[in-house]
């Protein structure tokens, strides 16, 4: 059941991450809105998971998505986005965050590897300096061309 991959609070997820790390497993962290999940998201998350042993995904709250993407977003509410992302076999944990960036979450969880899409540079990835200072790695992942939520929304509007 995917519901047990959804964490309601950071402290519980932090304890789980620490348990995984204590057994030598490498924790990969990424984040995003994941509004209207599509092939680009799936490919990205699958590749992120291949960088380590456990993939933890921070998902922007509805209010956070609206602040970042505009008043008409998200299209899909937070609960549905959490359930969809947690349904992937290659995702071990998901958690919602309210802030515009996952900085506090990254600092609490202390992942071994931090990832974002290649549309980011390492210098622009929130939390990269923290992860690197702790001896971790930061990686960018190639994106599937032609797949983006904004492109899908525009395509739907034209129907």
In the structure, what pLDDT confidence band is assigned to residue 2 with cuts at 50, 70 and 90?
Answer: low
Q: What's the CA gap between 61 and 74, in Å, rounded? A: 9
Query: Could you read off the pLDDT of 13-51 as tens digits, one per residue?
Result: 999 999 999 999 999 999 999 988 888 899 999 999 999
Q: What's the CA gap between 159 and 151, in Å, rounded? A: 13
Residue ranges and CATH numbers for the domains of the chain are 2-157 (3.40.50.620)
Query: Could you read off the pLDDT of 57-88 as tens digits, one per residue?
Result: 999 999 999 998 888 889 899 999 999 999 99
The mean pLDDT value of the chain amounts to 92
pTM of the model: 0.91
């Amino acid at each position: 059941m995917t519901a047990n991959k959804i964490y309601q609070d950071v402290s519980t997820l932090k304890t789980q991450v620490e348990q995984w790390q204590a057994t030598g497993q490498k924790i990969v962290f990424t984040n995003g809105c994941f509004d209207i999940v599509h092939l680009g998201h799936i490919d990205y998350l699958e590749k992120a998971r291949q960088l380590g042993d456990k993939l933890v995904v921070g998902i922007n709250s509805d209010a956070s998505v609206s602040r970042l993407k505009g008043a008409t977003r998200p299209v899909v509410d937070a609960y549905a986005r959490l359930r969809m992302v947690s349904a992937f076999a290659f995702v071990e944990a998901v958690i919602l965050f309210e802030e515009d960036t996952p900085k506090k979450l990254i600092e609490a969880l202390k992942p071994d590897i931090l990832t974002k899409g290649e549309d980011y540079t390492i210098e622009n990835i929130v939390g990269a300096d923290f992860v690197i200072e702790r001896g971790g790695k930061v990686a960018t992942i190639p994106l599937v061309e032609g797949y983006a939520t904004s492109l899908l929304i525009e395509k739907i509007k034209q129907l």
